[in-house]
Amino acid sequence: MLVINNCQFNDEGNYSIEALGKKSTATLTVEGMRLKFELPLQDQTEKEGNTARFELEISHENVPVTWYKNEVKFHVSRTVLIHSRRKKHTLEIKELTLDDICQVKAEAKGILSMAKLTVIGNPCFVALLKLFVIQGFAPCYST
């Protein structure tokens, strides 16, 4: 007797046994949902303060999707919105900050889609400019 635990779709095929000159063959067909991403996640680059929107579409309707930020589950909040309708699933991250730079992962029944979120910071002054007055061709040095 052959037992296959945790049978997967890639276990499908013909299995044979031969003993004492006799041979037997059986075909294994695995039934279940052949779930796949029809539209996987895409990398996003957004400016600080904007909204990032990750969309994906899976092959079957009404399959729950769990979203992760660097392996930590996203939770709906003032700045994080999660939508799902039939096959389409969306994650929105509003009011982006540099702390939002991460890997976004979507998981549906064990299959994964991943994308990178890059946030471009707003320019800011790190030091004030100083006024220099130069007369003629005199050298100018800044400290």
CA angle 8/11/14 to nearest 5° reads 150
Cα 57 from Cα 45, distance rounded (Å): 20
Q: CA 65, CA 93: separation in Å to the nearest integer?
A: 16
The overall pTM is greater than 0.75: no
CA dihedral of residues 16, 18, 21, 25 (deg, nearest 10): -20
User: What do you get for the CA distance between the two ends of the chain, in Å?
Assistant: 83
- DSSP at 126: S
Distances (CA, A) of 20 to 2, 17, 23, 97: 17, 10, 8, 70
Q: Where are the domains of the chain?
A: 37-120
pLDDT digits (tens, 9 = 90+) for 74-103: 999 999 999 999 999 999 999 999 999 999
Per-residue pLDDT tens digits for 11-23: 889 999 999 999 9
The CATH code of the domain at 37-120 is: 2.60.40.10
**pLDDT of 136 over the 80 cut:** no
- In angstroms, the CA 112 to CA 95 distance is 26
- The reported pLDDT for the residue numbered 4 is 85
Placement of tokens 């000159």 in the chain? 21
